[in-house]
Amino acid sequence: MKSFFKNISLPVKILCALVFIASVSMGIHNATLYDPNHGFDGDGHIYYINYLVDNREMPPPTEWETHQPPLYYIVSAVVQSTFNSQKSVQYENIVIQWLIIFVVGLGFNKIFKNKYQVLLGMLALAALPMLNIFQPTVTNEYLNTFWIISAIVSCVYIYYSKTNKEFFKAYILLLLCLIFGVWTKISIITILPTVVIALFLSIKNVKKSLIFSALAIFVFGLAYTPIFLRTANFVAPSNIVTTATNFGSVPSLDFFIRLDWIPKIDMYTTQYYSFLGGAWNSFWSDGQNVITPFVPFHKKAFILWTLGFLLLPITLYGQIKHFKENKKMSTIMIILGLSMFGFYIFYNIVSSHYSAVRLTYEMGIVLPYAFGIASASSNKKLFPLIAILLAIQFVILISFFWIEPWWHVTRPI
């Protein structure tokens, strides 16, 4: 990264440092105050980690969350044992979040020649509520997202590889990401179509494309086998295999298309009645009150909510713009976004739980979002507007998500 910042102006370097410091400071502050049992299934994740710490073996996959693949929990158990503190686990996501942003920066540096575009793409993630909402919680979603994004960035490196050595290095990284990813959360399976398409777009020889695609799928399946066998004889409370093969009551079409949350300015309860509203608010604000106190209306939440109506068309414009310049690379990002959204629809069909409309389950969608922002910023007229919008979003996000001692999430459940 030292060489990356070589030709970046000093004021921009200072701004980058301030963004990093502010983000990490918020993460440390929030993790310190946040009670780990809050969030989605916090107590289930903690139980899994404590079981590993206390017993030095895997728990039976019969309790809530213990059916999950073990990598996140093993890492967390090591962290907890090393620092002799359960609280230490909550600081992991600060590191993982910035690893995600850093990896995205590496990928964008391959795609975009302008380094300021790369930085705006990275800022788009640092300022995105969706990537900050769960930061102080105990959850495997961040590590899962890291492997998903790292796998796609590996595909970017494969696409731009000029020698066999570069290709095989990137391909091995891809396989490792798929292995570690499926050992973290099975939902990484949603990126396999993107991976296969990326390999076919990167390798001109159809036979080689088939071989490398088949090998990637085989390695993924092989890595998943022990995870599947561990839960095959149990009916875990939220086993993804059980969920995917056991359709509940399918929501009505109205649930998927209703937009009445917009005129109502409903930033907090749309997940109960609207697919799109629930997604919108889990992407642009704390729509399910994972961190912030539940209030009917909040000015800061409204600003974040409103910024989405400006940033979404900008990222879509960027996607279209880049498609005209590089159809293959844009196709990879578009397929990733569609895969994430398709899985999102599928999960809402098979699950009747209100948390299904939490788009955080498909957090890999943040990569095509940031890609569109970075691409759109090549427009000289749009660049300052995008920079200003992201700066406003980041400042409001830090202010809005900064936990106060009196908030409900600081108290044990």
Arithmetic mean of pLDDT over the chain: 91
- DSSP per residue, 214-266: HHHHHHHHHHHHHHHHHHHTS--TT-HHHHHTS--PPPPHHHHH--THHHHT-
Render pLDDT for 45-73 as a digit per residue (tens, 0 to 9): 999 999 999 999 999 988 888 899 999 99
CB atoms within 10 A of CB 71: 20
The pTM assigned to this predicted structure is 0.94
How far is Cα 374 from Cα 112, in angstroms, rounded to an integer? 8
Q: What is the mean pLDDT of residues 313-319?
A: 97
Selected residue with higher pLDDT from 298 and 243? 298
Q: Contact, 56 vs 81, CB < 8 A? A: no
**For residues 285 and 282, what is the distance between their CA atoms, to the nearest angstrom?**
6
Other beta carbons within 10 angstroms of residue 205's beta carbon come to 9
Q: Nearest CA to 177 among 352, 364, 15?
A: 364
Condensed to tens digits (0 to 9), the pLDDT of residues 230-240 reads 887 765 444 44
Question: Could you tell me the pLDDT band of residue 249, with boundaries at 50, 70 and 90?
Answer: low
Nearest CA among 132, 145, 139 for reference residue 38: 139
Confidence of residue 295 (pLDDT cuts 50, 70, 90): confident
- Check residue 238 and give its pLDDT: 47
The alpha carbon of residue 267 and the mean position of all alpha carbons in its chain are separated, in whole angstroms, by: 21
| pLDDT(212) > 80 | yes
29 to 39, 154, 155, 348, 397: CA distances (angstroms): 16, 33, 36, 34, 14
Query: How many H helices and E strands in the chain?
Result: 17, 0
At residue 42, the pLDDT reads 87
Radius of gyration of the chain (CA): 21
Which residues neighbour 383 within 8 Å (Cβ) at sequence distance 6 or greater?
Answer: 116, 120, 377
Question: Which residue bears the tokens 């300015």?
Answer: 265
Q: What percent of the chain has pLDDT over 70?
A: 95
269, amino acid identity: T
Which pLDDT belongs to residue 91? 96
pLDDT of 248 reads: 54
Could you read off the pLDDT of 376-411 as tens digits, one per residue? 999 999 999 999 999 999 999 999 999 999 999 999
Give the CA angle between residues 102, 103, 106 to the nearest 5°.
Answer: 90
Q: How far apart are CA 197 and CA 328, in angstroms?
A: 9
* Lookup result for tokens 């570069």: 166
Domain boundaries, the chain: 4-410
Encode pLDDT of 123-166 as tens digits: 999 999 999 998 999 999 999 999 999 999 999 999 999 999 99
Confidence (pLDDT) at 105: 96
Phi then psi dihedrals of residue 400, to 5 deg: -75, -40
The residue written with tokens 């409204």 in the block is 302
